[in-house]
Amino acid sequence: MITKVLKRLTPLVQFIFFLILISLVASCATGPIFTYTEYTTKPVFPSYPDAYFAIVSDTHFYKRSLGLTGPDFRGELASGKKMLDISQEINEELVRKLIDDREIKFVLVCGDLTKDGELENHLAIKDLLALIEATGKQVYVVPGNHDINNYNACRYTARGSEKIASVTSTEFMEIYSAFGYSEAVSKDPASCSYVAEPVPGLWLFAMDSCTYYLNSSRYPSSTAGRFKPETLAWIEAELAQAVKQNKAVMGMLHHGIVEHFTSQKKYFRDFVLDDWEAVSRLFAHYGMRLVFTGHFHAQDITMRTWPDKTFLLDIETSSMITFPCAWRTVAIAGNNARVTSYPLTSIPSVSDFQTYAKNQLLAGVDKFISGYMKRYNFTEQDSRIISPQLARGLMAHTTGDEVAPAVLVNTEGLSLGATITIGFANDLIEGAWHDLVPVDNNILLDLATGRWSKP
């Protein structure tokens, strides 16, 4: 019925209807039920033990031997979102950097290790991670939405592409047995989640937030993030155990645990965990103050606080094959944390890698937005005016520490229809440009109070 109605509407009205519809869908969610009771006074959580570790996300490893030619591969590259042609080179350089930092004790990888869950790519990045562990560092992984049961797994040929084997959740845990699963102090029977203790007194909750069990030939790769009810029950039970044993806790998962800009869940619902408000409250209640995420390919840190003065920081790290191609380190000492970002500056084939990566993404995002506007029959002039401006806004969020211009979108020369549509999407534009507290790339954190400052 809805489809029949939409076909009778003009493209502009269709677009406005779409904006209204996603607002209604976003307001219809019901939250999970937990066993904890709210605090009446501010709780006192154990201090974090001293630690120094690195965070990497969305490596999207792709072996060159799986093909770098043909129309399908060119189409994949044209989006500009992932530099698959140099993915192997980027990740090899990343591993060299991580090995060179001798102070790093362990490395967190927040999902999307592979392009599309190809078995060959899993085995290849497993070998790279093994090089890190060979230096005495421990690696911990969680799956991302691309990594398991992915029907888009393929190799590229001169004529197009060919399907190849992906992996099941059981195979994922077997392949990465040495990277968290064999060291786990507890495993969730319902998912690829586990708890590990990378340093004495610190429990790492490595949580599987992916919905790959929904994938099929008709729905090749589910992007959404949610915890199964039984996984949430396991998480809460393990958090309660951590409290009993006086362990400090931190978490890692692929999807955002909070919104990284206002209205993110409205427009990009698959990039923020379902029931994020309730789940983030659960984490904070049990003293999980640090959560490391990926998925949206952005360098962004967002803090959420509650009336009882508990707080949680979602520290999102960008993709290694999408600008700004950065990883992070966290140094914890005296219950204070220093978070530092390291954009990859060069690789063997590209000396000024940051400029190259930025231009690739800017061109790709501009093209994507132009195509989207063409789909809704905006004029060529509208597209030329709007696309570069929206692309710059998204790039600002991706890079982190956004500084909004005086005029977010200059509508001069736009058609009336385009001007009205931009008005309907104003909350998205405002959100992308206006950074939520705190700063994003380099920060000092008091893990007892939540106070923060720039280094």
Task: Looking at 46-105, list the stretches that DSSP marks H as alpha helix, in order from N- to C-terminal side.
Answer: 71-78, 87-100
Confidence of residue 4 (pLDDT cuts 50, 70, 90): very low
Checking if the pLDDT of 8 tops 60, the result is no
Residue predicted with more confidence, 4 or 450:
450
Looking at residues 304-333, what average pLDDT do you find? 98
Checking if the pLDDT of 366 tops 90, the result is no
Phi-psi region of 295 (alpha: psi -120 to 50; beta: other; left: phi over 0): left
Token digits for 239? 């958090």
Checking if the pLDDT of 315 tops 70, the result is yes
Query: For residue 378, what are the contacts with CB-CB under 8 A and spacing of at least 6?
Result: 386, 415, 417, 418, 421
Tell me the per-residue pLDDT of 28-59, one tens digit each, with 9 for 90 and over.
456 898 999 888 777 899 999 999 999 999 99
Q: What is the pLDDT of residue 70?
A: 98
Residue predicted with more confidence, 328 or 377:
328
- High-pLDDT (> 70) share of the chain, %: 93
Q: What is the pLDDT of residue 3?
A: 41
Q: What is the pLDDT of residue 37?
A: 87
Q: Residue 267 burial (CB < 10 Å; 0-12/13-18/19+)?
A: middle
Q: What is the pLDDT of residue 443?
A: 99
Determine phi and psi for 212, rounding to 5 degrees: -65, -20
Checking if the pLDDT of 144 tops 90, the result is yes
Checking if the pLDDT of 253 tops 70, the result is yes
The domain over range 51-348+445-453 is classified in CATH as 3.60.21.10: yes
Determine phi and psi for 291, rounding to 5 degrees: -135, 130
The string over 345-377, giving b where at least 16 C-beta atoms fall within 10 Å of a residue's C-beta and e elsewhere, is: eebeebeebbebbbebbbebbbebbbeebeebe
Token digits for 427? 């909350």
Q: What is the pLDDT of residue 33?
A: 86
Q: Show the CA angle centred on residue 206, arms to residues 267 and 31, nearest 5°.
A: 45
Confidence of residue 27 (pLDDT cuts 50, 70, 90): very low
Confidence of residue 14 (pLDDT cuts 50, 70, 90): low
Checking if the pLDDT of 120 tops 90, the result is yes
Looking at residues 10-18, what average pLDDT do you find? 50
Tell me the per-residue pLDDT of 384-412, one tens digit each, with 9 for 90 and over.
999 999 889 999 999 999 999 999 999 99
pTM, full prediction: 0.93
What's the mean per-residue pLDDT of the chain? 93
Looking at residues 178-202, what average pLDDT do you find? 99
Q: What is the pLDDT of residue 368?
A: 85
Strands 138-141 and 202-206: unpaired
Tell me the per-residue pLDDT of 322-358, one tens digit each, with 9 for 90 and over.
999 999 999 999 999 999 999 999 999 999 999 999 9
Helix then strand then coil, % of the chain, to nearest 5: 40, 20, 45
Checking if the pLDDT of 5 tops 50, the result is no
